């Protein structure tokens, strides 16, 4: 294959990516400051500080899910792939529920929940990946189906864990399972910092794999001919996406469809260069979830229902989006 292939041409330099990242980081900060102002309560210093912590958590979760969704779609060459659909979010959710509802938290302190979430996410990835293997090759279609099945199974396990939880906390756990950014995150800064650092590290790794994802988009054989270790890339991406998703679930529960909507919209606007998509998707996910959480925080009291879990908004918008993509792919397969 010639070096001047359009799909592999180095359109972006490292300097160009840094410029993109700098501009989007500034936009994200401006959006965060804007989202911190509206609310049902009069703005005081304490309330503003709490909102900023909450928005930082929303940005971390949004960036994690969007970047992970972009990477999963790249390695599977399937726009329907994302952490929630593949069951990774629910797997991490089992770990979080196990840590908060059953197991004592004294073992590792505040690290207990993240550790269990990572175990749950990685275990789910391993099961889904193993099911989708056929004679040493990964079947993306089977992987999506197995992810959906495992997701349903994990949901049943989570409901079973709720039966063992303290009855006084069941309502809190139900809200968490809907995907809800907690009000108390300002009181757990170490948890927020740990999850943010984990997400940032995974995000950087995905950015540096952008060229490999571009090559993989041309097919496994072509990617291997350019020097990409396809199997290792897929395993590596699954692990990184699982850890980033676990961090997101620790902060906000299993929020769905962010990893589906945001990367796809970014791809429609910017094209399929994963070097750019890896940068833009993370920032776009952060902005999307901050805006969605602000909407939930302001509209809920107007409706007399309190704060609406942000997972409800993402599900209401992501469900129809998923159906449109599914029907589009079904139509393309018949051509």
- Secondary-structure breakdown of the chain: helix, strand, coil percentages, each rounded to the nearest 5: 75, 0, 20
Q: Are 267 and 82 in contact (CB under 8 A)?
A: no
Residue 183: what pLDDT?
Answer: 78
Q: 182 in the Ramachandran plot: left (φ > 0), alpha (ψ -120 to 50) or beta?
A: beta
Q: How many other CB atoms sit within 10 Å of the CB of residue 64? A: 35
Residue with tokens 């993989």: 216
Tokens of 310: 């942000």
Most confident of 133-142, 305-314, 319-328: 305-314
Tell me which of 207 and 109 has the higher pLDDT: 207
**Residue 154 class from Cβ within 10 Å (0-12 exposed, 13-18 middle, 19+ buried)?**
buried
Q: pTM of the predicted model, to two decimals?
A: 0.85
User: At residue 308, does pLDDT exceed 70?
Assistant: yes
In this structure, of 88-92, 110-114, 154-158, 246-250, the range with the lowest mean pLDDT score is: 110-114
User: At residue 4, does pLDDT exceed 60?
Assistant: no
Q: Are 113 and 105 in contact (CB under 8 A)?
A: yes
Residue 33: what pLDDT?
Answer: 93
In this structure, of 113-127, 157-171, 233-247, the range with the lowest mean pLDDT score is: 157-171
Confidence band (pLDDT; 50, 70, 90) for 12? low
């Amino acid at each position: 294959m010639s070096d001047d292939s359009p799909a592999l041409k180095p359109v972006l330099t490292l300097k160009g990516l840094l410029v993109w990242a700098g501009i989007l980081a500034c936009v994200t900060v401006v959006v965060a400051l804007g989202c911190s102002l509206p609310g049902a309560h009069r703005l005081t210093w304490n309330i503003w500080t709490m909102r900023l912590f909450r928005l930082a958590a929303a940005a971390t979760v949004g960036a994690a899910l969007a970047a992970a969704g972009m990477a999963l779609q790249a390695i599977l060459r399937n726009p329907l792939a994302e952490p929630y659909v593949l069951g990774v979010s629910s797997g991490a959710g089992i770990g979080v529920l196990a840590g908060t509802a059953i197991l004592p938290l004294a073992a590792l302190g505040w690290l207990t929940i993240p550790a269990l979430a990572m175990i749950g996410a990685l275990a789910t990835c391993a099961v889904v990946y193993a099911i989708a293997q056929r004679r040493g090759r990964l079947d993306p279609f089977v992987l999506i189906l197995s992810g959906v099945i495992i997701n349903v199974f994990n949901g049943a396990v989570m409901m079973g864990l709720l039966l063992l939880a303290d009855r006084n906390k069941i309502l809190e756990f139900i809200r968490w399972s809907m995907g809800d950014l907690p009000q108390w995150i300002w009181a757990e800064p170490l948890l927020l910092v740990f999850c943010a650092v984990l997400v940032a590290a995974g995000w950087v790794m995905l950015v540096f794999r952008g060229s490999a994802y571009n090559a993989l988009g041309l097919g496994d054989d072509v990617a291997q001919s350019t020097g990409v270790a396809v199997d290792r890339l897929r395993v590596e991406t699954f692990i990184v996406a699982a850890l980033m998703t676990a961090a997101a679930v620790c902060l906000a529960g299993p929020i769905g469809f962010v990893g589906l909507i945001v990367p796809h919209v970014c791809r429609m606007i910017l094209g399929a260069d994963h070097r750019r998509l890896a940068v833009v998707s993370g920032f776009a996910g952060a902005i999307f979830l901050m805006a969605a959480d602000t909407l939930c925080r302001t509209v809920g009291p107007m409706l007399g229902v309190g704060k609406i879990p942000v997972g409800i908004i993402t599900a209401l918008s992501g469900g129809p989006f998923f159906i449109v993509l599914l029907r589009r792919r079904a139509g393309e397969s018949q051509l």
